[in-house]
Structure 1
C-alpha cells in the first residue's frame, strides 16, 4: 500500500483532516560529527499518549531498512548506537539525531509512525510519510569561522571581534577559542537557532588594545564534535591615542613667558614713574 493510501485508510474512520509529517528536506552534516533533524507530525484531535505511538526512521521508501526503531535488533548494523529520538512523540515531536556521521549517510531518511497501542502489522494501522524525508549533504571538512570587527582599533578604547560558525549538531555545540596577545581579554558566547535545523555558534572577544598590540594577529578556532577543527585569523591595526603634549607644552611656555614679561614691564613702568 502506498503512503497516500495508508494515509487515507487512517483518516477515513477518524476525521476528514489529514495526518502530516513536517521534516526538514536537506541539511549539511559534518563527517564524524552529528546532525539533528527537526521533525514534527500533526493529526486531528488532541495529542496522543506516547505509549500508543511507535516511531521509526528508515531509508527512503524501504521500511525494512531501518536506521532507528524502538527494537534496535531490527536496525541496520551501520546505524546501531548512532541514532536516537530526541523528540517527545506525545508532543508530536519526531526529531532525530544521527551521530558519528559517515561519508555515506546521505539518505534520504523518512519518518514512519504506528498509531496503535498493539503490535498489529496491518497497513491500515500505520502511517508512513515517504514524501517527507531528509537528505544529508555530507561535509568532509568543517566550515571556517567568520570574523566580524571594525577595521581599526584605537589605543585604550574597547575593541570587539565576533566569531561565528554554522553547524547542525546542537547537542554538541562547536567550541570556539581565541588566540591573541592583548591583556585582560573578555569572552562571551551563545548558540543561536537560525531555523530549519541550522544553528550558529557565536563567541565575542573584547579587548583594550595598546600600542604594542598593533599588527598582531587574532585567531578564532572552532572545534567540532568528532575533533574536527577550523580557524580564521585577522590582523589587528591599532591607532595610537592622539597626544597634544607637543602643542600644549610649547603653548603653555609661551603664554607663561608673555605673562612674566608683561609683569616685568608693568613693574618697570611703575618704578620709573
Structure 2
C-alpha cells in the first residue's frame, strides 16, 4: 500500500508540475550596441508554464517599455507603429523558446527599452509580458568607432611570408559585415565567431610574401556593413632586404678602402714632417737660428755681471809702455764659465797671451 502511494504521488508531480510551477521568464541582454543605418539582432529566449506548444498556437510581440500598445513588432503589421513598420522581424522560432528580434536600417531613435510579450491560444486566451526583462540599445554613428582592428608587423623581411589580421565586432549575425583588403591575394581566410551576449566577430586573415617594392607602402582593411556603412584602417609596411653576398662585400670593401686611404695619408704626413725637421736642423747649425741660440744662452748664463767682468778684464789686459811691467793675470787664474762660453773672447785672450809672452 505504501509503495503504491509513492508511485501515485510521483505521477501527479510529473503531470502537474509544469502547470503549477511559476516559470514565466525571459532572458535578454540588458544593453546592446547598434550601428546606425545597419541592423541589430536582440537575442531573446523565454520559458512559460505548461506543456510545449507549436509556433502556430503562439504569437510573439515586441513593444516599448511601459507602453504595451506601441508595438515595434507584431504578426499583424497594422498594429506596428509607423516608425518601425517594415524594419522588424522575428529571427527565432517560438516553439524553440527563441524570441530574438532583428531591427533593420537602425535609426537614431531606436534606443528602447524594448520588451517581449507572448500570447497563447489555449482553452482560454492567455498572454504574458516580460516587463522585468527589457533591452536598451546604444546607437553608434561615429566612424572612428566602427573602424576594423588591424593586427600586423610593421617591420618584415623580404621573401618571408607574413600574416595580417583584420577583425570587427558587430551585433547583426543575419547580415555579417564584409572585410576587404587593399591588395588582391589568393590566401585570404574569413571566419565568423559568436563571442556571446549578442556579439559576433568577423575576422579576415591575409597572407603575403613581401618584396622590396613593398617597402614603405600601405596596406588597408575596409569593412562594409549591411546598409552601406563603411570604414577603413591603414597600416604602413617596412621591408628589410635579405642579407646577400653583395650586402656583405660592399661594406667590407668600403671599410678597407677608407682605412687604406687614411693610413696612406697619415704615412705621407709623418714622412713630410720628418723631412721638414731635418731641413730645419741642417739649416740652423751655422745660421741665424744657431747664433741667436748661442747669444740667448750666453745672456742667460752671464747676465750683466759677467759682461761687466769681461770688460774689466779686457781693460786690465792692456800693454802699457813704461819702465815697469805690469803684472798680468794668468789666464789659468780666471774662472771658466761653462754656461756661456764665447769663442770670440777666447780668441782675444789667446792673442793677448802671445803678446805678453814675447815681451
Q: TM-score range by the shorter chain?
A: 0.7 to 0.9
In the other structure, the counterpart of 1:174 is 177
In the other structure, the counterpart of 2:131 is 130
User: Following TM superposition, by how much is the alpha carbon of 1:16 offset from its aligned partner in structure 2, in angstroms?
Assistant: 2.1
Which structure carries more helix by proportion? 2
Alignment CA distance shift 1:243-1:36 (3 Å) = same
In the other structure, the counterpart of 2:52 is 47
Distance 1:58 1:171 in 2: 22
Alignment CA distance shift 1:79-1:170 (3 Å) = same
Matched-pair contact (CA < 8 Å) for 1:215–1:236: yes
The DSSP-based 3-state class of the residue aligned with 1:115 is strand
Say if 2:15 is the partner of 1:15: no
In the other structure, the counterpart of 1:232 is 233
Range with bigger deviation, 214-223 or 237-246: 237-246
Unaligned segments of structure 2, at least 5 residues: 1-15, 250-359
Unaligned segments of structure 1, at least 5 residues: 1-10, 249-273
| Greater C-alpha radius of gyration | 2
Which of 25, 33, 40 matches 1:28?
Answer: 33
User: Following TM superposition, by how much is the alpha carbon of 1:13 offset from its aligned partner in structure 2, in angstroms?
Assistant: 9.1
User: Following TM superposition, by how much is the alpha carbon of 1:17 offset from its aligned partner in structure 2, in angstroms?
Assistant: 3.7
User: Following TM superposition, by how much is the alpha carbon of 1:45 offset from its aligned partner in structure 2, in angstroms?
Assistant: 5.5
Distance 1:169 1:75 in 2: 22
Say if 2:191 is the partner of 1:190: yes
Aligned Cα RMSD in Å? 2.2
The DSSP-based 3-state class of the residue aligned with 1:90 is helix
User: Following TM superposition, by how much is the alpha carbon of 1:229 offset from its aligned partner in structure 2, in angstroms?
Assistant: 0.9
User: Following TM superposition, by how much is the alpha carbon of 1:150 offset from its aligned partner in structure 2, in angstroms?
Assistant: 2.5
In the other structure, the counterpart of 2:101 is 96
Q: Deviations over 1:24-67 (max 9, x none)?
A: 11111111111001000023455321122111000002110000
In the other structure, the counterpart of 1:106 is 111
User: Following TM superposition, by how much is the alpha carbon of 1:152 offset from its aligned partner in structure 2, in angstroms?
Assistant: 2.0
Which structure carries more strand by proportion? 1
Matched-pair contact (CA < 8 Å) for 2:91–2:101: yes
In the other structure, the counterpart of 1:199 is 200
In the other structure, the counterpart of 2:213 is 212
Distance 2:215 2:195 in 1: 35
Higher relative contact order (CA 8 A, sep 6+): 1
In the other structure, the counterpart of 1:154 is 157
When the two structures are aligned, how many residues end up with a matched partner? 233
Alignment CA distance shift 1:102-1:68 (3 Å) = same
Which of 55, 72, 76 matches 2:81?
Answer: 76
Q: State the TM-score, normalized to the length of structure 2.
A: 0.61
Please list every run of at least 4 consecutive aligned residues from structure 1 whose deviation after the TM superposition is greater than 6 angstroms.
none
In the other structure, the counterpart of 2:285 is none
Which of 76, 79, 86 matches 2:91?
Answer: 86
Matched-pair contact (CA < 8 Å) for 2:185–2:206: no
User: Following TM superposition, by how much is the alpha carbon of 1:15 offset from its aligned partner in structure 2, in angstroms?
Assistant: 1.9
The DSSP-based 3-state class of the residue aligned with 1:162 is strand
Q: Deviations over 1:121-161 (max 9, x none)?
A: xxxx2111011111111111341110111242111111111
